[in-house]
Structure 1
């Protein structure tokens, strides 16, 4: 029974991966349309120092946004800022330290950002880890669940007031959360969100990405009910050739290398759907969507279960010490 519980998440994840690769074999990455200038708008991009996060930050800055790159490596972050500035991009770009493995760090980041008295129009929850060795965050949460999901949950909740105040009807603030196709194969155990009964890195990663979609939809439901000028959407970048795959097992890394060169998206292509969600006119005022390859797509059936959404929200608030609303 234990062996089956360990193997099934692996099989489900790789089956989803094969489906995505087949899709990418026969379908090119969509081309971003000409996007409107974003002068005067402010964005935060987590994990914006490299990979898809960097491409997202760079592109939003090229549209005139003031972009705050949030990451856990000051050296990488400052190098990313310099690189973007060297391109002569018109938007302002800066780095602020954020460690999503620490709820204290998330709160400190928010305090530092608020002290700047800036508006906030776009939050891109992009940072993530995949298939890391079993471990805990500073607060004792399983690493995938803690960093990929809970850290972003707290960050979003603490910045929600700024997003609401900055948005206007006809010019909404936008929350863009990067999920993954692996959520289709995920199983959510509300009694064991930390995976302590039978840990699987594959299952933990998939569950964290499923949790992000559930959070996205529940958040949009609450924003709509309150009439707030903020939208919340989840995006799926596809399979992208980034450092995220560095924790694959040795045989999988060997197979991945030649396949990635031919069939994986580039970081710029992977970032394109997040960029679209953050700035495109056609998504103005539209939330509660799962976007893949530039189009609205149906997510896993469980993500539309309002009871599951509400229960995860309730437990998440309790875990991070926020009052449940």
Structure 2
């Protein structure tokens, strides 16, 4: 039982990782097209102070957007703000505190944001943890599921009215959610989302990334049904050389170093598809996509299971005490 619960998810993740590395060996990184100026538009980027999030924030700021970096480390966030401002000369970059592992913090963030009466044209759900040893969020949820998925689920739902009010026909607001190729090996356990008797950090991470894709697809169906001027897409950055890999076991860390130099994408390359989803003119009005290396790809078979999407949505609403719509 232990072998099935712990070893199999690990093998699935490493098998998927090898496939991604082979793809990255054979294909050039996606090059962003010329993007339109986005002066006067506002974006929130979670985890926008480092790695892929920082590069996303930096690029959106370079297009003239007012960028709010949302994160749980103030000093790191303020440094990122200062660096972007100095590099670009663009002053409309700021930090706001948000701890996605706390539902209370998510609600406080949204309350403070709405009190400023700012519009919101782009929400980039980027923040995440990977392969962390078994831990719980403030609210008692397994950390990967609670932070990577559930915190973003609540954040997005609480900001939907602002996104809706800020969008218009022909110029939709956009929700961009960063998933991962590991979602292909993810198995959603609706009866055990708060932890497992035989804990696998690989299984937990994959599950959280699958949940994000399921959520994106179901959300887009709801947006279309209501005729809201908002689109929701999931993006896969590929394997990117960031701090997320710090929780690999020692042998894997040693193996990663030379491989990363040769085959991993840089944070800027990893961020390119998220930036594309947030800003490209050709994606106007398009939602429910899974974008990888700048192209729409087919996600896992289970991610298209509408019954599973609906069950996850209902369960998530109950977990965060949100009235289901």
TM-score by length of 2: 0.99
Q: Deviations 1:68-113 (Å, cap 9, x if unpaired)?
A: 0000000000000000011134361000000001000001111111
Question: Residue 267 of structure 1 corresponds to which residue in structure 2?
Answer: 267
Alignment of 1:80-159 (within 5 A): 80-90=80-90, 92-159=92-159
Distance of aligned partners of 1:33 and 1:91 in 2 relative to their CA distance in 1, 3 Å threshold: farther
Instruction: Tell me the residue number matched to 1:290.
Output: 290
In structure 1, the partner of 2:237 is 237
Counterpart contact for 1:55–1:267, Cα < 8 Å = yes
How far apart, in 2, do the equivalents of 1:88 and 1:244 lie? 27
Equivalent-residue separation in structure 2 for 1:229 and 1:105 (angstroms): 27
Tell me, yes or no, if the aligned pair for 1:55 and 1:271 is still in contact at 8 Å: yes
Q: Which residue of 2 aligns with 1:77?
A: 77
TM-score by length of 1: 0.99
Residue 279 of structure 2 is matched in structure 1 by 279
| Counterparts of residues 153-168 of structure 1 (less than 5 Å) | 153-168=153-168
Between the aligned partners of 1:127 and 1:250, the Cα distance in structure 2 is 24
Assess if the C-alpha contact under 8 Å between 2:141 and 2:195 holds in 1: no
Q: Distance in 2 between matches of 1:74 and 1:193?
A: 30
Q: Which residue pairs with 2:3 in the alignment?
A: 3
Q: Distance in 2 between matches of 1:317 and 1:147?
A: 15
Structure 1 unaligned runs (5+)?
A: none
The structural deviation recorded for 1:197 is 2.9
Q: Distance in 1 between matches of 2:290 and 2:47?
A: 21
| Greater Cα offset, 267-276 or 90-99 | 90-99
Q: Offset at 1:2?
A: 2.1
Which is further off, 195-204 or 60-69?
195-204
Do the aligned residues in 2 keep the contact of 1:63 with 1:91 (CA within 8 Å)? no
SS of residue paired to 1:38: coil
Partner of 1:208: 208
The alpha carbon displacement at 1:196 in A equals: 2.2
Work out whether residues 84 and 90 of structure 2, in 8 Å CA contact, stay in contact via their aligned partners in 1: no
Aligned residues: 325
Structure 2 counterpart of 1:52: 52
**1:28-67 maps to which residues of 2 (within 5 A)?**
28-67=28-67
Instruction: Tell me what 1:227 maps to.
Output: 227
Instruction: Judge conservation of contact 2:52–2:271 (CA < 8 Å) in 1.
Output: yes
Distance 2:198 2:169 in 1: 47
**Gapped runs of 5+ residues in structure 2?**
none
